[in-house]
Structure 1
Amino acid sequence: MKKDLAQYLAEPGKKVSLKKLTTTYPGEGEKEQGEIQLEEVKKRLSLLQETMYASRSHTVLVIFQAMDAAGKDSAIEHVFSGINPQGCEVHSFKTPSEEEYAHDFLWRHYKALPFKGKIGVHNRSHYENVLVCKVHPEYILAENLPGYQDVKAIDKGFWKKRYESIRNFESHLSENGVVVIKFFLYVSKDEQKQRFLDRINDQQKNWKFAAGDLAERERWDDYMNAYETAIEETSTEKAPWYIIPADKKWYARLTIARIIEDTMDGLNIQFPELPEQEVKELEQIKKTLSKAD
């Protein structure tokens, strides 16, 4: 991986301290130049996805997690807009339904995996179960798990098992051709405040703001602790986490696109070659068509 991208990798087995990381663009580049670069990366992503679709050997699963107003939706829109819609699926996960609560916490996410050859994008994901549920352990009670009818029973041992379940899940995916790339869009509290105000001041963006967003903001430190632990516990060689500075949306989008491109390019997927007999048949069909009216 390119050195400037590797700096955002949460190295497996290493401690994560978000306070030591930046939320803003560390360089001196301009937004306009960055947007031009993004268009070039998107062209290459489109070709890589087409090649993967033809080979049907891999699936790419891209996971986005972040605090509210960090730019997940717009990053997905800008990064994947150049890809053939038939080759990309986006799923946004909200509060589980009654049916989803009737299954294990991974069921709805496994069900949402794309076919081989496609890129799957999960806007929020199975990580909500160790993030928002870690901050609000009372949500776990809705799963009706044996032995967990009281919040007091949800201890460190519970979370240890849940991280293990996630690692095993992602390991299983990897062994079956699913390439997992996980992004945490790391926005500062000040920038989130400004984006909330922008949503309130702009009538066309009012719908994006909910009163509950403010209540969750009050738990900022708890969420940062939950993110640190989740990333430490689940960033692996086969399913790495990348912590992306998200105060500058254009830079976050470009960095995300470049990491996906770099990862897919490293798969070295090629267009499938036809058997010799089929090549000969195509040549004959070509001659027939060339002579036709």
Structure 2
Amino acid sequence: MDIQHLNYLVDIAKTESISLTAKRFFISQQGLSQIIQKLENDLNVTLLHRNRHGVTLTDAGKAVVEQALEIVQKYEELLQVVQPLTNTNVQSIKGHLSISAAPNVSYNYLPEVLDSFNRKFPQVDVQVEEKQHFLEIIQQINDGVVDIGLVILPDYSYQEQILRVNATFEKISENPLLACVAKTSVLAKKKIITIKELSAYPIALYSHENYLSMIKHMFKDLSSLNISVKTSYVEVYKKAILDRKAVGLTSFSDFRLLDDEAIITVPIENSFKLIYGCFINSLNPVTEGFLSILKLVAAHKLTGKRVHKG
């Protein structure tokens, strides 16, 4: 059994499409179907339900994907451990890495990722540029202007957007949009909150264009909301939640906000999911090294995420 074949299966579980996964990994749809059939034969189970709309996991498929995720992550960790002992000295690699990133990804992931990357690739120059909307990042990737595009995509348009890009896409995390409240808030004990209920409270919003378009999709009309603050600064956003009892709207990947123990999360009924991902224009030791570090940092940070106790 090939580790890469497990990667294919994990990706199919995310996209629910053999054709989409085949496109993302630059292999033929027929070739990918044959790989999945071989996996099914090797394991003696049916992994996928196939229909005209795409594919879904069988119960056996869900169990296999759950284990495959652990295997793939352990394999990537293994590569990190043995890398210094291989014949390829990545510290001698010279080059340039250009990154276009959504603001929320930039300040929640990049500081730690770039610290590790700079230690591993000290002779690679890194240039980072923030873009307000994922469409700007997608355009830069398609134009070949940047090597890496770090985006946040809503699940309701996720597949449509990645099909527009001629690059490899790797999903880093997938988290629901949550309400964030102070522990002293009247909402703190709720097990779940509806969108209609949220409309009755002061709301704290980030000012990023992409984020606002997703919030507008959920509420339909932002003018109907009592917006307490609209800012790009996490500390200002946090103070609105703690001092003015506003309700924030974000995900578990908003580490700088949720690291504060005075803030807890409440699930939102019928909320959408935020998909954090990475477009890669060309796979090479530098971009693969960056992706590997990004995945490890994300996995480490998300293992400590807090869930609402209610």
- Length-normalised TM-score, structure 1: 0.29
Structure with more strand by fraction: 2
Bigger radius of gyration among the two: 1
- Length-normalised TM-score, structure 2: 0.28
Asked which structure has the greater RCO (Cα within 8 Å, sep 6+), the reply is 1
Structure with more helix by fraction: 1
